[in-house]
Amino acid sequence: MVKISFQAPATGLKPEKEAAKGDEAAPEAAAGGGYGGKAELLLPQDVEEQPLPVQNRRPLSRICYLTMILMLLLLGLILTSMYVYRYFSVTGSSQTYLENVFHCGIIYQDHSYSQLREQLELHEDVRIYLEQDYEQINIPMLHFGESDPADIIHDFQRGLTAYHDIALDKCYVIELNSSIVLPPQRFWELLFNVKKGAFLPQTYIIQEEMIVTEPVTDMEQLGSFIFHLCHGKETYRLKRRTARRHIHRRSAENCHHIRHFENTFVVDTAICQKL
């Protein structure tokens, strides 16, 4: 309980009002112990505070639920987009890969073999990788036996050409001759334009001669494409021979020929090693 007290009015002040209210003050004097005592008013000590109105939380909950739903929808959209992108990118890559693989059959003339046959045929499989900027050519064994089966890589990023003579199981590396070898985009256009025909138009043959110089000790410097082709095989460097002498009449050298098609003509590459 809280006790509130105050003093009674002093004697002699306002006697008229005192007399007028004598009868009315009698009960109060009895309760307070007379005019000379203190009047006390007792009030409850703990005044209960009125609770504030509680705000409605339903709109906030709805916003949270709506946000969660939107996040789930966004996550589903992202996952669906990734799946669709991967599916079509893989399909597109397969289609591009199939379009960049060519089986070539070339009819050409070689005047040095004109007494045997007027026309010769050359078959090879060509794979062109436009993004990686390199070409891979596979030449099977020819019927007349004047060319060794081989795998060839022209790496335009490294500026190197590698020949893997399958008959000897040896690799030979030399600087890429851009005057003879067409770059991937132009070679792809050439093969794509003649894709509908069974054979390419009749063409001719040119000859180039190379000399084996030294073995390659560091295979990693040749790049990943040539490394995978020549890894585990004897690998040698080649040097082009500038003097143009007939390559079929050499008796002091052992030469192996690889005939391949990488332009509008056939190239007879003779890789020679001194005896």
* Same domain (yes/no): 26, 68: no
51 belongs to a structural domain: no
User: What pairs with residue 263 in β-bridges?
Assistant: none
48 belongs to a structural domain: no
* Same domain (yes/no): 112, 213: yes
* Same domain (yes/no): 24, 140: no
* Same domain (yes/no): 219, 151: yes
* Same domain (yes/no): 167, 263: yes
Q: How confident is the model over 2-30, as pLDDT tens digits?
A: 454 545 555 444 445 444 454 554 444 44
Residue 13: which domain range?
A: 2-43
138 belongs to a structural domain: yes
90 belongs to a structural domain: yes
* Same domain (yes/no): 106, 116: yes
Q: How confident is the model over 123-147, as pLDDT tens digits?
A: 899 999 999 999 999 999 876 567 8
Instruction: Count up the domains in the chain and report the number.
Output: 3
* Same domain (yes/no): 267, 256: yes
Task: Please give the Cα distance from 210 to 169 (Å, whole number).
Answer: 18
Q: How confident is the model over 181-195, as pLDDT tens digits?
A: 999 999 999 988 877
Helices (H), the chain: 15-20, 22-32, 58-99, 184-193, 224-230
50 belongs to a structural domain: no
Q: Determine contact, residues 166/149, Cβ cutoff 8 Å.
A: yes
List, as one string, the DSSP characters of 162-202.
EEEETTTTEEEEEE--TTTSPPHHHHHHHHHHTTTSSSEEE
268 belongs to a structural domain: yes
174 belongs to a structural domain: yes
What is the model's pTM? 0.62
* Same domain (yes/no): 85, 192: no
The two structure tokens encoding residue 20: 């007028």
